[in-house]
Structure 1
Amino acid sequence: MPTKIEEYLQRSGWTQVKRQEDLAALWVRTDDASGRELKVIVPLDLELGDYASRVADVLRVLEALEKRSAQEVFRAMKGVGEQSDEFEIAIERDDIVGGLIPLSVGAKAFRGARDIFVAAAAAEHEPQAVHPSTLSAMAQEAMRHTFLSQTREGSYVINIVSKVPSQPQPPLPNLGLEDDKWEPVQRKVFKRVAIALEAVRQAATEDTTDAFASRITVGVSWNLCQAVTRFAGGRHFRRVSFTPKWASDVPRPTDIPERIIFYPKMITAVRAGAQVLREIRPIPDFNLVGKVVELKSRSDQEHEGTAVVEGFIDATSLRRVSMELRGEEHTRAVQAYETKEEVLCVGTLYSGVQTHRLITVKVFKFAHR
């Protein structure tokens, strides 16, 4: 049981700061609501005379923090070893009383939860401003492993669970999985949910025309924005927060926000952003010829990053078009940047007022070699 307690704390944002082997470990976390630092001491020896009381102390702290009964927390701890990623969606409204949410509000929220994961699954396969209603094979595979868990108070919490395999499985046919580093498709989608929601939050805080359109490559879409707005509505809405929790047997993702929060004014911006995305008309199989004028490599991935190519998107418009590249294409972009040679890029072009992006790059090669 000590192992499950510590796994649960780690997944819930706690940090171990001190440990006395075979006796006890000190874990800390900041309470988001009050800003106070919380501390719990986890007993590590089942033979300790006060083991039960020490565990009860831990449960009491978690009970107050998570706003659910100690019994519910304990059941969640016992299920840690089942290996699942979780997404906690906490809705706070003035008209939620005693864990009861108005039926019409709750129905929209559950639909919003589903639509967020469908949009993220679609974006993981191919980012688009507006996703079609038909899911790709990869998206369907991810959704088959995604479930609704028991709701709870606080004010009203929806829990999405995805079963994550801890060992590599044979690759599924025609899923478009090209990564050398194995990662379950369920985990990929959960990561995309967190990344895309954070991108929507950032766009909602910016006062620029292309705030939403410039983030299509990371998963922002009309579908996702519409899904986020389903959690808000009416004067009773206060906020909605999204908190990911990661299975311990699969390496914990990096650079993923611990919590994404939307407030009423931000939801208004998200609605406006959704309309902008709805009006974007992509140009498939667009041929762009130009020179690489800027490169931004990812700090956590070698041979992967953003390239900016300056070229004509029509007969008179010389524009800078950004695109995500990896592997040989990224290496080629670096060479083209150094030699100042023209490149030919083929992909789906999204043109905003100020931002232009090439999505799903199919061809990236030297134009005159």
Structure 2
Amino acid sequence: MTKLRVAFDDTSSYLTRASWRPIVSGPLAEIWEAESGSSLRLMVPKIESAPDYQHMLQSMTLELARFEGRQPEQVRDDIARQFLDITKLRAASADLIGDTIPLHAGIALFDSAKRLVTAAAASTLMRQGNFGRNMPRRAINHAKHVRLGHTIQGSYIVPIISEVRVPDVYSVDEGIDSQPRLDLKVEEARFDRRVTTTMAHALEVLEEIAVTRDRVPSAADVHDAVAEGVSRELCDAVFQVLSTGQVDSYDIDFQWAPAVTPPRLLTESIDFPKGAVHVVGEIAAVLRTSERVEEQIIFGIITNCAAPLGEGMGRVTVQAAIGGRARTVRFDLDWKSFALASRYMAERRPVFVRGVLHMPSGRQATMEVSAFGPDPSTMTLDEALEGPGPDVVLRELPPPRDGSIEP
């Protein structure tokens, strides 16, 4: 595993999750003890810029590793990834010699990493079968700041690393109204997790129609997959590795940050065998000529839910980060979806909305909604304790009928 930076927040998160607690706190370090009643005490350094920080961190890791009966490197890696989502791209090949891979396949794997991230970032902003020259600038820029780790021994694995230090719910302003608050910096930080969530879901859908099914996907199947985040660019990223002829399978594993509530109902591993290369290529060809869709996706906090008399639907207002600014967007929902929106507002929960966005100059922004639900990149603590439940991620709503949207 790549040697990652370890901050005090990482260490305190790991120890808390492992049932340790601080008993003495000072400006430079803290002393922690195990809740199990062990006599062991750990000196945990706090200031990374201190000259003895690394030495103290190493000593603490050695003691903790002995206590857990594990290797120090394993413990340090687990501490370091508390707030990191790690996506592992693995090219399995019979041509592997030691930890090496054929040059052509290796170049394809690294280029695929960039393509996957860019495609997922674009589909996080809007749903489109083929972006082509219309690739959003934000998606291109996002791929520039995502980190790659060193290849991992044992297999040819390239890790994509994203930092996710974000809360599960929105904070509330102090005062009488106690209104949820949209923080643009937090929204920017959430984007990394949302992109990885989109990637995982889209690849899962692509695997289902290209590998799992016992029939070739129809045009309708491919069209439906676009609504779930599949694009020609995403397919090309997978096809590029498989088409080298030097890879037996292309596996993508997702390790979600232990300290941040993971996305709900997403598989942790996706596998594209080399036999899927032709189907993936055919799907990409269909998407290359697909009609351009003007649906956008916004993420934000619900600030108002109103039920106008006699209109047969509920009106919802969301505050979202659009183009680097906080904007309010208003839209209508059927009563069942409106009830969910009311609940999410009370929970201060992030939501997503997909549809046609109208932003006339100087007037209220509105949206014709085709999908609405909780932000698929997060779930609440209660849901985590409940375990698997109904899949509401990217739930489709049919087109309006009689002025309302039915789930």
Same fold (TM over 0.5): yes
2:255 corresponding residue in structure 1: 245
Out of 233, 251, 269, the position equivalent to 2:279 is: 269
Deviation at 1:144, TM superposition (A): 5.0
Equivalent residues of 2:148, 2:158 under 8 A apart: yes
Contact 1:90/1:154 (<8 A) preserved: no
Q: Which has the higher strand share?
A: 1
- The reply to whether residue 100 of structure 1 matches residue 100 of structure 2 is yes
Q: Is the 8 A contact 2:84 2:164 kept in 1?
A: yes
Q: Does structure 1 retain, via aligned residues, the 8 Å contact 2:114–2:143?
A: no
Question: 1:308 is matched with which residue?
Answer: none
| 1:205-245 Cα distance to aligned partner (Å, 9 max, x none) | 33231332221011101110000112223554221211111
TM normalised by structure 2 equals: 0.53
Instruction: Please tell me whether the aligned partners of residues 129 and 288 of structure 2 are also in contact (alpha carbons under 8 angstroms).
Output: yes
Aligned residue for 1:121, secondary structure, equals: helix
Alignment check: 8 A CA contact 1:4 1:80 kept: no
Q: Kindly tell me: are residues 5 and 249 of structure 1, through their superposed partners in 2, closer, same or farther at Cα, counting changes over 3 Å?
A: closer
Give, in whole Å, the separation in 2 of the partners of 1:262 and 1:5: 37
Aligned residue runs from structure 1 range 1-369, under 5 A:
4=14, 21-22=36-37, 53=66, 55=68, 57-59=69-71, 71=73, 73-81=74-82, 83-136=83-136, 138-140=138-140, 142-166=142-166, 170-171=183-184, 184-204=190-210, 205-206=212-213, 207=215, 208-210=217-219, 211-282=221-292, 328-331=331-334, 347=356, 366=402
8 A contact 1:149–1:161 mirrored in 2:
yes
Give aligned pairs, total.
Answer: 257
Please report how far the alpha carbon of residue 332 of structure 1 lies from its aligned counterpart in structure 2 after TM superposition.
Answer: 6.4
Amino acid at match of 1:216: V
**Structure 1 unaligned residues grouped into runs of 5+:** 9-18, 24-45, 60-69, 286-302, 304-325, 336-345, 349-357
Going from structure 1 to structure 2, the CA distance change for 1:77 and 1:249 (only over 3 Å counts) comes to closer
Q: 1:149 to 1:328 in 2, by over 3 A?
A: same
Give SS of 2:130's match. Answer: coil
Q: Which amino acid aligns with 1:189?
A: V
Q: Match of 1:329, as an amino acid?
A: D
Structure 2 CA distance for aligned equivalents of residues 359 and 80 of structure 1: 33
* Aligned residues: CA RMSD: 4.2
Cα distance 1:164–1:272, how it changes in 2: closer, same or farther (>3 A)? Answer: same
- Aligned amino acid, residue 161 of structure 1: I
Q: Deviations over 1:61-109 (max 9, x none)?
A: xxxxxxxxx74x354234234x221101121101111111122211111
Aligned AA (1:188): R
Aligned amino acid, residue 257 of structure 1: T
Say whether the 8 Å CA contact 1:88–1:242 is kept in structure 2: yes
Where structure 2 has 5 or more consecutive residues not aligned to the other structure, the ranges are: 1-10, 19-33, 39-58, 171-181, 296-304, 306-328, 339-354, 358-369, 373-396
Partners of 1:116 and 1:193 within 8 A in 2: yes
Letter in 1 for 2:259: D
Distance 1:54 1:283 in 2: 56
Contact 1:145–1:186 (8 Å) recurs in 2:
no
Compute the displacement of 1:154 (Å): 3.0
Percent of residue pairs identical: 21
> 2:362 corresponds to which residue?
none
- In structure 2, the partner of 1:43 is none
Q: Is the 8 A contact 1:329 1:364 kept in 2?
A: no
Distance 1:327 1:258, change over 3 A: farther
Residue deviations 1:179-213, cap 9 Å, x none?
Answer: xxx97111100100100000100010332313322
Secondary structure in structure 2 of the residue aligned to 1:282: coil
> Once structures 1 and 2 are overlaid, which stretch shifts more, 241-250 or 118-127?
241-250
In structure 2, distance between residues paired with 1:58 and 1:110: 32
CA contact 2:86–2:256 (8 Å) conserved in 1: yes
Distance 1:252 1:197 in 2: 17
TM-score, normalisation: structure 1: 0.58
Alpha-carbon distance in 2 for matches of 1:241, 1:153: 16
In structure 2, relative to structure 1, the CA distance for the partners of 1:219 and 1:52 (3 Å cut) is closer
Matched residue SS, 1:262: strand
Label 1:195 to 1:6 Cα distance change in 2 as closer, same or farther (>3 A).
Answer: farther
